[in-house]
Chain A
Amino acid sequence: TQLLEQSPQFLSIQEGENLTVYCNSSSVFSSLQWYRQEPGEGPVLLVTVVTGGEVKKLKRLTFQFGDARKDSSLHITAAQPGDTGLYLCAGDRENSGGSNYKLTFGKGTLLTVNP
C-alpha cells in the first residue's frame, strides 16, 4: 500500500493549459514537500508546506496543504514545455519518531507539456 497516492499518474497537455495534480494519504504529515525531477537528474525541491490550509505560490505554481494535513495539491497555470517533468510529493509523517528526515515519496505524476 502506497502511503502517499498521487494522481493522475500521467498527464499530457498543451502549452497554455492549466492543470492540477494531487497527493493524498490517510496519514497525517508534519510537512509535505513537492519536487520536480527531470530525466537523469535527482529531485529538486519546489516548496515545503507545514501548516494545515496553507497556500503557497511560486510564479505560476500554487501549492495547497489540506486542513487536516493529509493531502496536498499542485496547480500550474498556463503550463509551458519547461514544466515537463516528474512531480513528486514527499512527506515527513507525524509521529515518525521525531525524525524530521525520513521522507516518504509518492510515485509521482509524469507531466508532459506539448508546444
Chain B
Amino acid sequence: GAGVSQSPRYKVAKRGQDVALRCDPISGHVSLFWYQQALGQGPEFLTYFQNEAQLDKSGLPSDRFFAERPEGSVSTLKIQRTQQEDSAVYLCASSLGRDEQFFGPGTRLTVL
C-alpha cells in the first residue's frame, strides 16, 4: 500500500522567496504531523492536525510558517520570505490516531 508521500523531494529557494511543501498522508489517517530536521539533528515537532483542525502549532518557529489541511487529507506547509536558517528537511507523518506515526521521505529545503 502507498505510504506517506511528500513533494517536492528537493527545493532550492533564494532568500526571501515563498515556498510550499506538500504532504499526502496515508489514506484514512486522521492525524498529520509536520517536523523539521536540521542537519545532524533529530526531527523537531512543528504542528499537528486532527482531520482539518490544527490542534497544535506550538512548534512553528515564526509567523512566516503556516500549515493547512483544508479537507482533512493533503496538507501544505508554507514558508514565507525564506531565510537561510530555514534550510532543513521537512518531514510529514500521519497516523490513525494516537498510535504509530508513519513518516514520509521528507522535503529537503535549501535556502541560498
Contact = CB atoms under 8 A, between A and B. Distances in A.
B100 interface: yes
A42 B56 contact: no
Contacts of A90: 42-43
Interface residues of A, number: 20
Contacts of B44: 105
A42 B93 contact: yes
- Residue of B40, B43, B91 with most chain A CB atoms under a 10 A cut-off: B43
Contacts, number: 50
Given A90-B42, A107-B41, A101 B31 contact: yes
Interface residues of B, number: 23
A86 to B, nearest CB: 9
B74 interface: no
Question: Chain A interface mostly helix, strand, loop or mixed?
Answer: loop
B42 A108 contact: yes
B48 A105 contact: no
A4 B43 CA distance: 12
A76 to B, nearest CB: 19
Contacts of A102: 45, 48, 56
Given A90-B42, A101-B33, A106-B42, 14 more contacts: A40-B105, A41-B106, A42-B93, A42-B105, A100-B98, A101-B48, A102-B48, A102-B56, A103-B43, A103-B45, A103-B101, A105-B44, A107-B40, A107-B42
Interface of A: 4, 40-45, 48, 88, 90, 99-108
Interface of B: 4, 31, 33, 35, 40-45, 48, 56, 91, 93, 95, 98, 100-106
